[in-house]
Amino acid sequence: MELRFLSGRVMALTPSTMLALGTPMPAFDLPLVNTGSLNSLQLTEKPVLLMVICAHCPFVKHVEPELTRLEQDFTGKVQLVGVSSNSLITHPQDGPEQLADQARRHGWQFPYLLDEQQSLARDLRAACTPEFYVFAAQADGLQTLRYRGQLDGSRPGNDQPLNGQDLRAAMNAVLDGTAVNPDQQASVGCNVKWNPGHEPEWFG
């Protein structure tokens, strides 16, 4: 397990589990952090970028500016969807009001889901925040996983550029109708905060 010093603290970094490429996009019907809900059946016309994020994680805070740029650059071409799956029992700072405030501060217009029962996180085998999944339609219309892993090589304090290089390359390949490079690097960050007593088998 990789360790990193942040603000004088040692933090253990959790890597992606790297869900198998070709996995169908999980079905879900979840509330939005503001009002309303989103059903996965509404996401059939464009490729989908599911982003496992939250409000409090320093690794998410680090990438927030690039998430804003991604929305600006890919709106109308890729459907961005944020999802917060952290336990509200242990981390109420990731509650709907805080998530809505995060989205408002950064001008995000993409749907932001609250996965309070953590069902979508389980289906994605999500392990960390942030984590990214790109789904695109096959010839039969089924949305399947083309990319999972890191945004780019930038982490808090490592001085690498925050430019979304890996994720952008994957989404551009999908949009161009070319194969996504299968050599994909795991995202790393804070672990998903599971509801106590309901941790999945890959946790820890």
Residues with Cβ < 8 Å from 80, sequence gap 6 or more? 49, 51, 67, 70, 71, 74, 110, 111
CA pseudo-torsion sign 135, 25, 188, 68: positive
Any idea where the domains of the chain sit in the sequence?
A: 2-191
3.40.50.2300, 3.40.50.300, 3.40.50.720, 3.40.30.10: CATH of 2-191: 3.40.30.10
Residue found under tokens 């805080």: 98
Residue 45, pLDDT score: 86
C-alpha 71/C-alpha 79 separation (Å) is 9
Residue 8, pLDDT score: 46
Q: Read off the pLDDT of residues 129-174 as tens digits, 9 standing for 90 and up.
A: 999 999 999 888 899 999 999 999 999 989 999 999 999 999 999 9
| 13 touches 3 (CB < 8 A) | yes
Pairing type for strands 79-84 and 143-149 reads unpaired
C-alpha 10/C-alpha 80 separation (Å) is 32
With a cut of 50, list the residues of the chain below it in pLDDT.
1-8, 10
Residues with Cβ < 8 Å from 19, sequence gap 6 or more? 124, 125, 133, 145, 148
